[in-house]
Chains A and B, each alone.
Chain A
Amino acid sequence: MVTKVSNANKLLLKVNNLSVSFDTTEGSFDAVKAVNFELKKGETLAIIGESGSGKSVTASVIMGILTCPPGKIKSGEVLLNDIDILKLSDSDRRKLMGSKVAIIFQDTLSHLNPVFSVGSQIAECFEVHKNLSKKESWKRAVKLLERVRIPNPSKRAKDFSHQFSGGQRQRVMIAMALALEPDIIIADEPTTALDVTIQAKILELLGELRDERNMGLILITHDLAIAAEISDKVIVLNEGKIVEKGITKEVFINPNHGYTRQLMDSIPGKITKQKKKISKKFSDPILEIKNISKFYDTIACDDVSFNLFPNEVLGIVGESGSGKTTISNLILRLASPSNGEILYHGKNILNFNKKDLFNFRRKVQVVFQDPYASLNPTMNIFDIISEPLVIHADFLNKKLHQSKVSDLLISVGLHPDDAIKFPHQFSGGQRQRIAIARALALNPEIIICDEAVSALDVSIQAQIIKLLLNLRNKFSLSYIFIAHDLPVVRDLADRVIVMKSGKIIEQGVVDDVFNFPKEKYTKDLLKASPSIENLIS
């Protein structure tokens, strides 16, 4: 996909020595430190970095939407066609920027106005900026929607944002960004919230439009694989500093800086597994799922059967809406199936009485996707981790709770002193560790990880995966690991189940499924998942 347009390589954007700081109660904090880069026509620049690396701050400076204060541009210049936009007055800048630079955000739902049809929102750009008539504007809006491949555009233009799927909303955002024919499009994590197959299509569309209109594209992402797929040049940001920049291929094949190498190593799909051969295949399964179905208004999960064996990691992959989370909720008894049985050590958990269910809950724990929402904000860490111990009061003497919590914190790589803090004082990765510590408190047999690492940066993701693997060996746990991210599952799971629209499409040992997929859907999934190997090989 990395096709370079042989065009007069006109310089579009040049950022010189840009430094930005934020004033906080603890003094001034440098978010961006002396950053330099440039962008030419028809070129894609990927800005890679983890959360807090300053990549979004850089983008908002270029867009002129940095909120000052608390933000403060300490030095540097941003030259757009040789004009320093930082020296312009607000109104001049707005005039210039609106037509030259456009941005696409990650969270499409909150960036589209819910009470206007998408067509009228796009048409508004033409009415305001180009003084076109209503009719003409609408016509152009429809044309744009057609260009970004919204099916049946003249009709869909009248729909509202919530009536589109995530991928389609992103297409609408792209259409809107294209409206004024900008020279530069900044895409801030444009596909992070999307499924892999849709992600691939959006990236393809962006690449196509870039070539067609000879625009510059700045792609901000934490995902190295996406950068590898689409960009010509990359810069890698760490703590506000550029640690590495260059031609994408060269950087990925031969990273110079330690941080880049560390990032490359954290990419899932690479960890050499100390995989135990599953000789336990012949032992009795802990959990047998037999023909369960769950119907809401639609079919959430349909005739699903699988087994979970002791000390096994079972991956469940599929796109959103494939019924993965429904299965986790059914096993956790947060919802009841419409049909079928779930056997735990041969006993049907659906027939459990209160006491049996209570004992079952002790053995099956869960780690949710969103570590920001799964911890009660009003409780401190000690209360959170010791809660399962308090609920299952016969498990451990109350006097020993303190030391147990300390042990748990240590085993997930946190400090015992963290116990008196509150969840908001931790980063996403640390919170996920807390959630894992809580899940471990009762020495469970099974931990269900529902997208447990999806919200985390790659290097943190790699740490958590390593932690989960170590804990499995230490406490002989079984995991059901639900994810939409295939490489992560490849790293962690022994066996994998591929789901689509509530049905199991394919299941088997991880290496078999990933190397020799039988079903077309699995092949599509694997192909859509961006990877660096494609670039290198």
Chain B
Amino acid sequence: MQLILEKNHLMNKFRKIFSMFMNDKLALISIIFLLFMVFLSIFGPSLISESYTKMNLRLRNLEPFSFDHHFMYFFGADALGRSMIARLILATQNTMFIAGSAVILSMTLGGILGLISGYYGGRTGNLIMRLADIIMSFPSLLLAVIVLYMFDPGLLNLIIVLAFTRMPIYMRTARAEVLEIRERLFVSAAISMGASNLRIIFKHIAPLTIPTLITIATLDFAFVMLGESALSFLGVGIQPPEVTWGLMVAQGRNYLQIAWWLAFFPGLVIMLVALSLNLLSSWLRIVLDPRQRWRLENIGDKSE
């Protein structure tokens, strides 16, 4: 009985979320596009099999939008005659994984550190904020290059370095929000109920800071993709034959005057992903705020 109830509850929740998507068409398109990207990053490589390394020197810098060749060459081919489509799909996995993990990591760590610093204040708070200052005072790219040069320029290190350099923005934002929320009456109420510090931070303060942090994170996603491409361009990031969108843009730069599509298509995908994330985040911000949620719910009630 309990199980059935819970299942129904889940179904209802799912239906509710779906109807909230239906009421924001832009968010719906974004989530479909992003889910498609996630699908590509998981199953893409096995779908395109070997074609991404297959070189065809006769098709070097093949122009896009011609039907003369295999459909894999519809977006043209790169300087070594490899299919752009295959390369884009292959890059999806690396890019989404690197940027996604780096953003999530920096948001979580930065957010938690900011919460702690804002809530406790005093020496702990100062220490954390000075750490943020130190990170910010280094040119982040230089720091990343040095670290990656000293350690192995592998995937994991790349993620950690990117996350680390992007952390201060979350720390500072979270702290600023906490300083204000901490003084609100419902926090005083929770303290006088005997709530533990952890409970106050995660149950009362964090939910109010998350919408802001998520908005920053989606903006940051594009930034991290470009940062990754800069590192890869300098040779301390992703190593060929692995590829990312950012790296494709960087490599395509040399051919910009004779083969614009080499940089254009990966750039376009980066832009579309960033745009979708932004649209999705504005939808999410409304969903996460109970006072705003009716904007998406009410219309649904009427159409039912």
Interface residues of A, Cβ cutoff 8 Å to B: 25, 332-334, 357-358, 361-362, 364-366, 368, 370, 373-380, 387-388, 391-392, 422-424, 435, 438
A/B pair count, beta carbons within 8 Å: 68
Q: Known contacts A373-B184, A374-B185, A376-B186; is A358 also within 8 Å of B194 by CB? A: yes
Task: Please indicate the chain B residues that have their CB under 8 angstroms from the CB of A333 in the complex.
Answer: 192
Task: Please indicate the chain B residues that have their CB under 8 angstroms from the CB of A391 in the complex.
Answer: 193-196, 199
The answer to whether A424 touches B192, judged by C-beta atoms less than 8 angstroms apart, is no
The answer to whether A370 touches B185, judged by C-beta atoms less than 8 angstroms apart, is yes
* Interface residue B204 (Cβ < 8 Å from any Cβ of A): yes
Q: How far is the CB of A64 from chain B (nearest CB, A)?
A: 31
Question: Which single member of A361, A373, A375, A377 contacts B192 (CB below 8 Å)?
Answer: A361
Q: Known contacts A358-B194, A378-B290, A424-B290; is A25 also within 8 Å of B298 by CB? A: yes
Interface residues of B, Cβ cutoff 8 Å to A: 184-186, 188-196, 199, 203-204, 207-208, 288-291, 298
The answer to whether A334 touches B188, judged by C-beta atoms less than 8 angstroms apart, is yes
Q: Known contacts A376-B204, A380-B290; is A368 also within 8 Å of B190 by CB? A: no
Q: Which residue of B lies closest to A25 (CB)?
A: B298
Q: How far is the CB of A41 from chain B (nearest CB, A)?
A: 46
Give complex CA distance A374, B186 in Å.
Answer: 4
In the assembled complex, 13 residue pairs joining A and B whose CB atoms fall closer than 8 Å, in A order, are A357-B194, A361-B193, A368-B185, A368-B188, A373-B184, A373-B186, A376-B204, A376-B207, A378-B289, A391-B194, A391-B196, A391-B199, A438-B189
Give complex CA distance A435, B190 in Å.
Answer: 12
The answer to whether A422 touches B290, judged by C-beta atoms less than 8 angstroms apart, is yes
The answer to whether A366 touches B194, judged by C-beta atoms less than 8 angstroms apart, is no
> Which of B194, B199, B204, B289 is packed against the most chain A CB atoms within 10 Å?
B194
Q: Known contacts A361-B193, A380-B290, A422-B290; is A375 also within 8 Å of B199 by CB? A: no
The answer to whether B194 touches A374, judged by C-beta atoms less than 8 angstroms apart, is no
> Which of A357, A376, A387, A392 is packed against the most chain B CB atoms within 10 Å?
A376
Give complex CA distance A395, B303 in Å.
Answer: 45
With A332-B188, A361-B194 already in contact, 17 other A-B pairs whose C-beta atoms are closer than 8 Å: A333-B192, A334-B188, A362-B194, A364-B192, A368-B185, A374-B186, A374-B189, A376-B190, A377-B208, A377-B290, A387-B193, A388-B193, A391-B195, A391-B199, A392-B194, A422-B291, A435-B189
The answer to whether A365 touches B192, judged by C-beta atoms less than 8 angstroms apart, is yes
Task: Please indicate the chain B residues that have their CB under 8 angstroms from the CB of A435 in the complex.
Answer: 189
Closest 7 CB pairs of A and B: A361-B194, A422-B290, A374-B185, A373-B185, A378-B207, A376-B186, A332-B192
Q: How far is the CB of A452 from chain B (nearest CB, A)?
A: 12
Give complex CA distance A364, B189 in Å.
Answer: 11
Give complex CA distance A333, B195 in Å.
Answer: 13
Give complex CA distance A435, B185 in Å.
Answer: 11
Task: Please indicate the chain B residues that have their CB under 8 angstroms from the CB of A373 in the complex.
Answer: 184-186
Q: Which residue of A lies closest to B204 (CB)?
A: A376
Task: Please indicate the chain A residues that have their CB under 8 angstroms from the CB of B199 in the complex.
Answer: 391
Give complex CA distance A376, B291 in Å.
Answer: 11
The answer to whether A365 touches B193, judged by C-beta atoms less than 8 angstroms apart, is yes
Give complex CA distance A377, B203 in Å.
Answer: 12
Task: Please indicate the chain B residues that have their CB under 8 angstroms from the CB of A361 in the complex.
Answer: 192-194
Give complex CA distance A44, B203 in Å.
Answer: 51
Task: Please indicate the chain A residues that have their CB under 8 angstroms from the CB of B193 in the complex.
Answer: 361, 365, 387-388, 391
Q: How far is the CB of B177 from chain A (nearest CB, A)?
A: 13
Task: Please indicate the chain B residues that have their CB under 8 angstroms from the CB of A392 in the complex.
Answer: 194
Task: Please indicate the chain A residues that have their CB under 8 angstroms from the CB of B196 in the complex.
Answer: 391
Q: Which residue of B lies closest to A448 (CB)?
A: B192
Q: Which residue of B lies closest to A329 (CB)?
A: B188
The answer to whether B194 touches A375, judged by C-beta atoms less than 8 angstroms apart, is no
The answer to whether A377 touches B194, judged by C-beta atoms less than 8 angstroms apart, is no
Give complex CA distance A234, B191 in Å.
Answer: 46
Task: Please indicate the chain B residues that have their CB under 8 angstroms from the CB of A332 in the complex.
Answer: 188, 191-192
Q: How far is the CB of B285 from chain A (nearest CB, A)?
A: 12
Task: Please indicate the chain A residues that have their CB under 8 angstroms from the CB of B191 in the complex.
Answer: 332, 334
> Which of B191, B193, B196, B199 is packed against the most chain A CB atoms within 10 Å?
B193
Task: Please indicate the chain B residues that have their CB under 8 angstroms from the CB of A379 in the complex.
Answer: 203, 207
Q: How far is the CB of A501 from chain B (nearest CB, A)?
A: 24
Task: Please indicate the chain A residues that have their CB under 8 angstroms from the CB of B288 in the complex.
Answer: 378
Give complex CA distance A93, B207 in Å.
Answer: 47
Task: Please indicate the chain B residues that have their CB under 8 angstroms from the CB of A375 in the complex.
Answer: 186, 189
Task: Please indicate the chain A residues that have their CB under 8 angstroms from the CB of B208 in the complex.
Answer: 377-378
Q: Known contacts A378-B208, A422-B291; is A366 also within 8 Å of B192 by CB? A: yes
Give complex CA distance A423, B289 in Å.
Answer: 12
Task: Please indicate the chain B residues that have their CB under 8 angstroms from the CB of A25 in the complex.
Answer: 298
Q: Which residue of A lies closest to B188 (CB)?
A: A334
Q: How far is the CB of B54 from chain A (nearest CB, A)?
A: 53
Give complex CA distance A437, B196 in Å.
Answer: 21
Q: Which residue of A lies closest to B288 (CB)?
A: A378
Give complex CA distance A388, B203 in Å.
Answer: 13
Q: Which residue of A lies closest to B292 (CB)?
A: A424
Q: How far is the CB of B64 from chain A (nearest CB, A)?
A: 47
Give complex CA distance A379, B290 in Å.
Answer: 8
Q: Which residue of A lies closest to B295 (CB)?
A: A25
The answer to whether B290 touches A366, judged by C-beta atoms less than 8 angstroms apart, is no
Task: Please indicate the chain A residues that have their CB under 8 angstroms from the CB of B184 in the complex.
Answer: 373
Question: Which single member of A357, A358, A424, A438 contacts B291 (CB below 8 Å)?
Answer: A424
Q: Known contacts A376-B204, A377-B291, A378-B208; is A387 also within 8 Å of B195 by CB? A: yes
Give complex CA distance A244, B160 in Å.
Answer: 72
Give complex CA distance A380, B192 in Å.
Answer: 20
Q: Which residue of B lies closest to A442 (CB)?
A: B193
Give complex CA distance A530, B148 in Å.
Answer: 75
Q: How far is the CB of A426 from chain B (nearest CB, A)?
A: 12
The answer to whether B291 touches A368, judged by C-beta atoms less than 8 angstroms apart, is no
Give complex CA distance A332, B188 in Å.
Answer: 9
Q: Which residue of B lies closest to A435 (CB)?
A: B189
Give complex CA distance A380, B184 in Å.
Answer: 18
Give complex CA distance A365, B192 in Å.
Answer: 7
The answer to whether B192 touches A334, judged by C-beta atoms less than 8 angstroms apart, is yes
Q: Which residue of A lies closest to B196 (CB)?
A: A391
Give complex CA distance A435, B189 in Å.
Answer: 9
